[in-house]
Amino acid sequence: MKEETGIDIKENELIKLESSSTIPVVNITGKYTWGENVFVVPEYSFAINVDNRKIILSDEHKTMQWMNYNEAISKLKYDSNKTALWELNERINISK
């Protein structure tokens, strides 16, 4: 979390979502970075409540934007990301 957002969190703040997937290694690095027998890498999804904490983007990102669920889901490209966001939205709605 700190690498992507600059936010220090305690382990108990991290919400591990059940949504997971695998990604072809060549889609991440363009080559077989972790050996010729590593074809896919796992993708796990997590969430945190950022409250009023300041987000500092890593060099990998240029911008960020707050948006509601419908706006966010329409901007996502990959099904695994859409599923993780849907799961988080459901968890939030059920806990209300």
DSSP secondary structure of 7-20: ----GGG-EEEEEE
**What pLDDT is attached to residue 52?**
85
What is the count of structural domains for the chain? 1
Distance between CA atoms of residues 8 and 13, nearest Å: 10
Query: pLDDT per position in the chain (96 positions), as tens?
Result: 888 888 888 878 889 999 999 999 999 889 999 998 999 999 999 999 888 889 999 888 889 999 999 999 999 999 999 999 999 999 999 987
CATH number of the domain where residue 57 is located: 3.90.79.10
For 25, the domain range is 2-95
DSSP 8-state class, residue 86: H
**What pLDDT is attached to residue 2?**
85
Q: Write b or e for each residue in 61-96: b if 16 or more Cβ atoms lie within 10 A of its Cβ, otherwise e.
A: eeeeeeeeeeebeeeeeeebbbbbbebbeeeeeeee
